[in-house]
């Protein structure tokens, strides 16, 4: 027997947390009956599980993909405004979903998989997987602002955890600064909000690494399968 939300996640429907939401919203049926309880267990070999009327089947073949996401693509399986999504860039037979998000105007490293347990473990705050970004800012950033970013800064209703910040370049002619910022968190538009909080406007944002997995050798718009040791390193 297996919990319904875990079965859905392992079948590539969504992350386990999202699957819990889908169950509560009445979008999942077991043997034709709508289920809206998170404690429900099913027998995968016997019970028929459907999501939005479509049969859900467990994946035998787990895949893990690294994409160097271009600007202009949204990080979702389907978009209500019919914009291009990251799944338009990847042609595989398996049903995959993104692990976390990058906003439409941010490029760089994004992992997609059909392994619900992997998504749950990698996105859980306790794992503290680092994300490294290259940030291009308008104007010259002052050392005082850099220190504030390093120590943690208040944005909206929370204070960010200390970040690693390195100045890569200050271009006086073009009136811009370029930083490398590494964080453990992954709140919505966090890097942009951090920079805005110290008075700097983000001109370009690129996620160069997730943990130690980078996209330096991967052209924008291209993807590759993660190696076994890369998957294991992320789960450590």
Alpha carbon distances (Å) from 231 to 6, 224, 225: 20, 13, 10
Catalytic annotation, pick one of 103, 157, 217, 228 = 103
- 80-87: long-range contacts, CB 8 A cutoff, minimum separation 24: 86/110, 86/112, 87/112
Residue identified by tokens 């016997």 is 46
Q: Going by DSSP bridges, is the β-strand pair 106-113/202-210 parallel, antiparallel, or unpaired?
A: parallel
Beta strand segments in the chain, E: 2-3, 28-30, 33-34, 41-42, 49-51, 54-55, 64-69, 97-99, 106-113, 131-138, 154-155, 158-159, 164-171, 176-183, 202-210, 213-214, 223-225
Residue 54's SS3 state is strand
**47 a catalytic residue:** no
> Rounded to the nearest 10 degrees, what angle do helices 190-197 and 143-151 cross at?
130
Q: Are 48 and 31 in contact (CB under 8 A)?
A: yes
Q: Determine the Cα–Cα distance for residues 102 and 223; give it in Å rounded to an integer.
A: 15
- Give the residue numbers marked as catalytic: 103
């Amino acid at each position: 027997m297996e919990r319904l939300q875990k079965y859905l996640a392992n079948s590539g429907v969504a992350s386990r947390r999202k699957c819990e939401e889908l169950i509560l919203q009445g979008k999942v049926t077991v043997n034709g009956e709508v289920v809206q309880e998170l404690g429900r267990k099913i027998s995968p070999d016997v019970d028929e599980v459907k999501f939005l009327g479509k049969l859900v089947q467990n994946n035998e073949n787990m895949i893990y993909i690294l994409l160097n996401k271009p600007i202009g693509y949204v990080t979702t399986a389907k978009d209500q405004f019919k914009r291009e999504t990251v799944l338009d860039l990847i042609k595989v037979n398996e049903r995959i979903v993104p692990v976390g998000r990058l906003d439409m105007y941010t490029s760089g490293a994004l992992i997609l998989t059909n392994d619900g347990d992997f998504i749950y473990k990698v996105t859980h705050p306790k794992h503290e997987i680092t994300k490294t970004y290259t940030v291009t800012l308008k104007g010259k950033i002052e050392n005082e602002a850099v220190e504030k970013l390093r120590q943690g800064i208040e944005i909206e209703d929370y204070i960010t955890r200390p970040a690693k910040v390195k100045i890569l370049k200050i271009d006086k002619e073009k009136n811009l600064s370029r930083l490398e910022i590494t964080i453990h968190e992954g709140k919505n538009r966090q890097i942009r909000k951090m920079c805005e909080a110290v008075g700097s406007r983000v001109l370009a944002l690129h996620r160069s690494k997730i943990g130690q997995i980078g996209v330096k050798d991967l052209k924008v718009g291209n993807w590759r399968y993660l190696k076994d040791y890369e998957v294991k390193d992320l789960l450590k």
